[in-house]
Structure 1
Amino acid sequence: MSYQVLARKWRPKTFEDMVGQEHVLQALIHALENQRLHHAYLFTGTRGVGKTTIGRLLARCLNCETGITPRPCGECTSCTEIQEGRFVDLIEIDAASRTGVDDMRELTDNVQYAPTRGRYKVYLIDEVHMLTNQSFNAFLKTLEEPPEHVKFLLATTDPQKLPVTVLSRCLQFNLKRMTPEHIAGHLQHVLTEEQVPFEEPALWLLARAADGSMRDALSLTDQAIAFGNQRLAASDVSNMLGTIDQRDIERLVNALVERDGPGLLSEIGRISDFAPDYSVILADLLSLFHRVTMEQVVPGSADNALGDAEQVQALARRLSAEDAQLFYQAALMGRKDLAVTPDARMGFEMTLLRMLAFRPGADRREPPAVASASQTTSSESRDEPEPGPAASSPTEVGEPARQMAPAEPVAAPADTAPTAAAPEPQPESEPNSNPNPESEPQPVDSTSTGNGPGPEQPGDDSWLASLDAQADAMEAGPSEVPNADPEPPVAPDPDPVPAPAATPSASPAPSEPRPEPAPEPKAEATASIAPDPVPEASGDFVWERDFRSLEIVGMPGNLASHGALSWDGDTVVLTIDEGHARLLNARHEEKILAGLRNRFGATTELRIEAGEPGPHTPAAYEERLRKARQQAAEESIRQDPAVQSIVERFEARVVEDSIRPIETSRR
């Protein structure tokens, strides 16, 4: 006996054997049980989801010798002949090959004749959307009012091409695409019955490759059994499909999460030996990071549709929300760029290296050591005679510092110190002067500021690190000269010499330093700008009211503003709700702690707790202020004599939703 392919051998014989499509089967079973049968049914859906199979099962249900039933016996003559494809009253028509109007006229002429063997004459027309307009017009009247012994079963993969006049005459059932879970489960059952050994990852590879079609999954399984010599191994299926194993995706992601650059390149090299489709790999990564983000935002939402729910949940705990978004966007843009890269592997490699290099908190690497070593000796010789043509005067440096933020002007005089070395004896005692540590590393300042010739500069630790430190300083609030050394903002020291450059009340162009304490005016100036209705008392800090004076900005400031503060000794306990606490990472906590230490001292520690913060949070406080201002503005408009006069004279109406209070600037 010749071999029968799995897709035909395992075609469902009853409604109970069908995998999925419960919404269609339920309607048909109830209609058969209650004898509420329509004369025309339309089944739509992608290829291989069971449209023709359901049509044949319905024909058996209608013509079973035991009666009209949703559970045909399968043993009578009608059931056997329909199952074997030789039932005379089941007419299957391929509309793709019989599209002419003459074919449709022949069909309508034969409709009037009674069935030969069965109870109903069933016309099963596949790919009905391929009929011409003339054929549909010849078919419409018969489709609307057929004889009682005729049932029309139409199947199509493209219902949009059907005329609305046909759609309105049929009961339409939309068959869903098969989920990978359904396909993998059915394949496991089939292979167990066929006694073919298999690996579970191989089933998931076949389920994903089938793309929602059970027939395609069974056909691919036939091919995989032949490829693996009567055995299904994940590696064999991966080679056959030209894809990579899901375990390879896991290894790539683990290398990214652990910041393992050599391991990542080694894994890419190993994968490239299989000549995979890199666009498909990036699509798998996109799907993975999408599900990771869903699990982070809505815990418990990760399903096992791809057989990797545990991996998704573990990654959601290990990755921050920023990392997941960065990886997703990098994979999305990399997949788009694959079409224009000279080599597909190059584009794929650069995409993963972007994820690794630009991940928040990633180390910035300096230029090659050979170049920096060769330039160090020349830069040291240039550092000594540098008189300062690239450095600005104190007036020019101090003015931008005040415009950016009135916080810390320490770095500005540090750059001008070498210029004033001749008239002032102060720079000669720099190594022994503790109050002004910014002036100690003069050679480093000259190289890191970038004032000297660009190509010959060696950079101190890293030119990227310098840019990164300046960006962090700008984000945290303290201002400094754009070309200043990135190290002073990390540990600011209240030096009485440069203080007037950052004091808000200082003159526009201070030419001489004034011995005024810098920290106190900074806090008072910040508090005076904040739109709090209650004046700030000296030395009295109220968390919800004075939070903005800490100058914690950006994402850390937004997250901290949703928390309630309490003290446990020298430890600040910040209680934040579960949704915002999940977005916090170590980098955010460092910036929040830096703001707290600037206010309360260097011994201050921070502890984040997830819980209910209550109403005493800066965000809630500002929302109350906003509502109060809005109410005051609306009341002011209502009480305004001019507005009242216009309302009375012209029967006007005040649209209160359009009233906006005047917002005072915080900066």
Structure 2
Amino acid sequence: MTLMNALTQRRIAHGYIFSGHRGIGKTTIARILAMALNCRNTIGSAVRPTAEPCEVCESCTEIRAGNAVDVIEIDAATNRGIDEIRELRDAARYRPARDKYKIYILDEAHQITDAAFNALLKTLEEPPDHIVFMMATTQPEDIPQTVRSRCQHFSFHAVKLVDILGELRGIAEREDVDADEAALSLLAEAGDGSMRDALSIMDQAIASAPVEDGRARLDAGQIRELMGTVPNAVFERILEAVDGNRSAEVITVANQLLDAGNSPAQLARQFVRYLRNTVIAKIAGIGVDGAGADGVAGELLQISADEQRRAGRSAALFSEEELTRFLQVMLKTFDELGYRQEQRFHFELGLLKLVHLRRLLPIEAVLSQFPVAGGARPGPGVATARTVSAPAAPPPRNPVSGAATARVLETSATVASARPAFSPFERDQSRNRFDEKAVVAAPIVIPVVPVAGPVVPIAAPMPVPVVVPVPIAIATPAEMVLTDGDAKGAALVELGDLAETAVATLHAVAQEESAENGRSDMQLDALHSAEELQRVAVDALLAAKNQATPADALGDADWTVTETEVRVQTELSKTMLPLVINPEVEKLVKAALRDSGAGALKLVLLPGVKSAANAKKPRAAKSGSVQAKAMEHPIVQRAQTLFNAEIRNVIDLRDND
């Protein structure tokens, strides 16, 4: 339409660039434009009512036949040097012999060298009135910018599959050729957006087709044999075997294809195209019956309806991520086949990699199978107990003469567990947060130092906060460790007084911890309910498909419940929060909260703030681990007391026998 308006208004440029896919008619458009410029009939006459050429005058017929004197068509792929362009520039100074314009059509113009373009640049910058240059190319970016800026650029898109199919169907009717839809669809797909390629393959197929009742007969099998391709049903079978983890069937199908004489490179190329169509079918949501293949999906998938249904069936077997990995593996395999000697082996290896990729597990599932503490895996509904021991007190500076009397009172507090740890990430959180329902087995060691006066128990700070009174098991006199030394310095303490003093010390430490944290019993209930809501939300996301990443993000977040809302302080940045917690994830979380009875509360998602206050604290060592044993060593404890040392890395050099 732009060229039609330019011809009507007589606004003719002196340079045109026609670019686009191969075989779509760029050079043909240049010839038609040359006919329109040199047509002897004026626009609006009876013979030429529009700007299109009349195709009956002498100039039009000569240009269409290719023997016009004033229309010179040059193959720039062979005449690409500076000498040929200089001859063209010298001949351009002379006026046309008969027509109005002298027109030069440069086919494959991107093949011209930079020096030749520089020689042509002055002519393009100040051209004579009678000269028009038309350059057809598939790579316009290879033409220098100085040349492109002095020309009008028209870019042509590839021909759609339906248009190629309609043109081939019309040609078959005019040529009296019997061709079914499957055969015409194969020809159209082989064109790959190029009408010229599709027509060339069709012409070759008609020449080799059998004749029945005086009419050539085209079928799909004959065209596949002509093009050296295999039916896509073979690749559908391979993907079904990959989904079923059947490596033997995959290798058997590949062996049949290779023994039939098919090239591994050609098979890999066709498989890559099939995987691409499968990925697009998955993204576009095309069903197994081809539903949803209209509209944008049909534009993305330039294949027949039967192939669209086939791609939909293969896409239903895998997720989008798996299909993307399959396509990446086969693309790498196709690249390697170009310079490998044993192409068969590399093609088979690429197919086996698809089976291996199918066996991959999510990282959450792998981490959840590791033992938690002491090599034992917790059973369902029971969290692993932790053992915390206070460091031993240093010996007195002025010991009493004789062996000092020591009495050690060990108490244990155990509370039943209420909910299981559903993932490794949740178990990490449970180590940093207090939960009165979590299993805690904490022997508390209280050393008693004998002095001349009343016995005063020295209670070491406990790593696990204790807020509510817990049952305390007092050791019996038979279980006590009692060592009497010198009778002069020994202080005998009654068992009842010792137990009473120890219990009082435990309650004092608990009250101090409660005052420091600022948590009341009501706040503990709120924290417990927040963790329950967090568990419900994360479980709902893990039950959904492809929502493991949002589940991990919400599992690592801090949940707080108020009277009106549920505040979730995530560790995600302001940019990543809407990408990870998208509207679909938020909808699933709200539905889970509503089912748990907290639907009236408003869900508020907060991004993480980068500051020193938000830095994660080091986690406590697991009971029975190497780090825990290092913490119990007297030298390490002494270093912590004197220098406030911190253990970062512990290497176990023992033999693992």
Pairwise TM-score range, normalised by the shorter structure: 0.5 to 0.7
Deviations 1:336-357 (A, max 9, x none): 5546876433333333333235
Are 1:352 and 2:250 an aligned pair? Answer: no
Contact 2:265 2:338 in 1 (8 A): no
Change (3 A) 1:268 1:112: closer
Deviations 1:277-333 (A, max 9, x none): 333433444444445445545546533313333333343334234532443344345
Deviations 1:237-295 (A, max 9, x none): 22222222223222322333355555544432332233223334334444444454455
Q: Determine helix, strand or coil for the equivalent of 2:533.
A: helix
Are 1:238 and 2:224 an aligned pair? Answer: yes
Q: For residues 192-211 of structure 1, what are the structure 2 equivalents within 5 Å?
A: 192-211=173-192
Q: Report the Cα offset of residue 53 of structure 1.
A: 0.7
Between the aligned partners of 1:168 and 1:503, the Cα distance in structure 2 is 76
Amino acid in the other structure paired with 2:9:
N
Q: Report the Cα offset of residue 92 of structure 1.
A: 1.9
Between the aligned partners of 1:98 and 1:342, the Cα distance in structure 2 is 38
Aligned to 1:323: 322
Between the aligned partners of 1:199 and 1:330, the Cα distance in structure 2 is 35
Between the aligned partners of 1:118 and 1:531, the Cα distance in structure 2 is 95
Between the aligned partners of 2:41 and 2:547, the Cα distance in structure 1 is 73
Q: Report the Cα offset of residue 52 of structure 1.
A: 1.4
Deviations 1:348-380 (A, max 9, x none): 333333323542489xxxxxxxxxxxxxxxxxx
Aligned to 2:8: 33
Uncovered stretches (5+) of structure 2, i.e. residues with no partner: 44-49, 211-215, 286-291, 392-409, 422-426, 436-518, 556-577, 620-657
CA RMSD of aligned residues (A): 5.0
Contact 1:581 1:610 in 2 (8 A): no
Aligned to 1:475: 368
Q: Report the Cα offset of residue 160 of structure 1.
A: 4.5
Aligned to 1:89: 70
Between the aligned partners of 2:548 and 2:124, the Cα distance in structure 1 is 68
Aligned to 1:52: 27
Between the aligned partners of 2:381 and 2:533, the Cα distance in structure 1 is 28
Contact 2:110 2:137 in 1 (8 A): yes
Q: So what's the TM-score if we normalise by structure 1?
A: 0.56
Amino acid in the other structure paired with 1:148:
D
Between the aligned partners of 2:69 and 2:340, the Cα distance in structure 1 is 59
Q: Report the Cα offset of residue 54 of structure 1.
A: 0.9
Between the aligned partners of 1:322 and 1:142, the Cα distance in structure 2 is 55
Amino acid in the other structure paired with 2:127:
P
Between the aligned partners of 1:612 and 1:102, the Cα distance in structure 2 is 75
26-35 or 527-536: bigger deviation: 527-536
Q: For residues 276-287 of structure 1, what are the structure 2 equivalents within 5 Å?
A: 276-287=262-273
Q: So what's the TM-score if we normalise by structure 2?
A: 0.56
Change (3 A) 1:557 1:209: closer
Q: Report the Cα offset of residue 661 of structure 1.
A: 4.6
Q: For residues 131-142 of structure 1, what are the structure 2 equivalents within 5 Å?
A: 131=112, 135-142=116-123
Aligned to 1:66: 41
Task: Give the percent of matched residue pairs that are identical in Structure 1 and Structure 2.
Answer: 32
Change (3 A) 1:310 1:153: same
Aligned to 1:445: none
Q: Report the Cα offset of residue 38 of structure 1.
A: 0.8
Q: For residues 402-481 of structure 1, what are the structure 2 equivalents within 5 Å?
A: 472=365, 474-475=367-368, 479=372
Change (3 A) 1:177 1:123: same
Contact 1:205 1:245 in 2 (8 A): no
Q: For residues 334-413 of structure 1, what are the structure 2 equivalents within 5 Å?
A: 334-336=333-335, 338=337, 343-360=342-359
Between the aligned partners of 1:583 and 1:198, the Cα distance in structure 2 is 48
Q: Report the Cα offset of residue 98 of structure 1.
A: 4.1
Between the aligned partners of 1:167 and 1:521, the Cα distance in structure 2 is 71
Between the aligned partners of 1:144 and 1:208, the Cα distance in structure 2 is 43
Are 1:306 and 2:303 an aligned pair? Answer: yes
Contact 2:235 2:274 in 1 (8 A): no
Aligned to 2:386: 504
Contact 1:187 1:218 in 2 (8 A): yes
Are 1:529 and 2:432 an aligned pair? Answer: yes
Change (3 A) 1:124 1:355: closer
Between the aligned partners of 2:178 and 2:40, the Cα distance in structure 1 is 41
Q: Determine helix, strand or coil for the equivalent of 2:55.
A: coil
1:544 to 533, 547, 554: 533
Between the aligned partners of 2:245 and 2:581, the Cα distance in structure 1 is 26
Between the aligned partners of 2:345 and 2:247, the Cα distance in structure 1 is 16
Change (3 A) 1:560 1:288: farther
Amino acid in the other structure paired with 2:168:
L
Q: For residues 569-608 of structure 1, what are the structure 2 equivalents within 5 Å?
A: none
Between the aligned partners of 2:371 and 2:310, the Cα distance in structure 1 is 42
Between the aligned partners of 2:73 and 2:354, the Cα distance in structure 1 is 55
Amino acid in the other structure paired with 1:188:
R
Contact 2:381 2:420 in 1 (8 A): no
Q: Determine helix, strand or coil for the equivalent of 1:124.
A: strand
Deviations 1:135-174 (A, max 9, x none): 5455434333333333222233444554444323221223
Q: Report the Cα offset of residue 203 of structure 1.
A: 4.0
Higher helix share: 1
Aligned to 1:270: 256
Change (3 A) 1:175 1:472: closer
Between the aligned partners of 1:174 and 1:517, the Cα distance in structure 2 is 75
Amino acid in the other structure paired with 1:305:
Q
State how many pairs are aligned.
458
Between the aligned partners of 1:135 and 1:119, the Cα distance in structure 2 is 27
Change (3 A) 1:165 1:107: same
Amino acid in the other structure paired with 1:58:
L
Deviations 1:174-213 (A, max 9, x none): 3334455544443333333323233444444444544543
Contact 2:206 2:218 in 1 (8 A): yes
Change (3 A) 1:479 1:106: closer
Between the aligned partners of 2:618 and 2:27, the Cα distance in structure 1 is 69
Between the aligned partners of 1:217 and 1:195, the Cα distance in structure 2 is 18
Between the aligned partners of 2:161 and 2:373, the Cα distance in structure 1 is 57
Q: Determine helix, strand or coil for the equivalent of 1:72.
A: coil
Change (3 A) 1:55 1:147: same
Change (3 A) 1:148 1:289: same
Amino acid in the other structure paired with 1:272:
L
Q: Determine helix, strand or coil for the equivalent of 1:276.
A: coil
Change (3 A) 1:192 1:663: farther
Q: For residues 558-569 of structure 1, what are the structure 2 equivalents within 5 Å?
A: 558=549
Contact 2:242 2:358 in 1 (8 A): no
Q: Report the Cα offset of residue 60 of structure 1.
A: 1.3
Deviations 1:65-114 (A, max 9, x none): 33254322222332222222222322223344445666545544544544
Contact 1:256 1:356 in 2 (8 A): yes
Between the aligned partners of 2:262 and 2:584, the Cα distance in structure 1 is 35
Between the aligned partners of 1:190 and 1:551, the Cα distance in structure 2 is 58
Between the aligned partners of 1:110 and 1:525, the Cα distance in structure 2 is 83
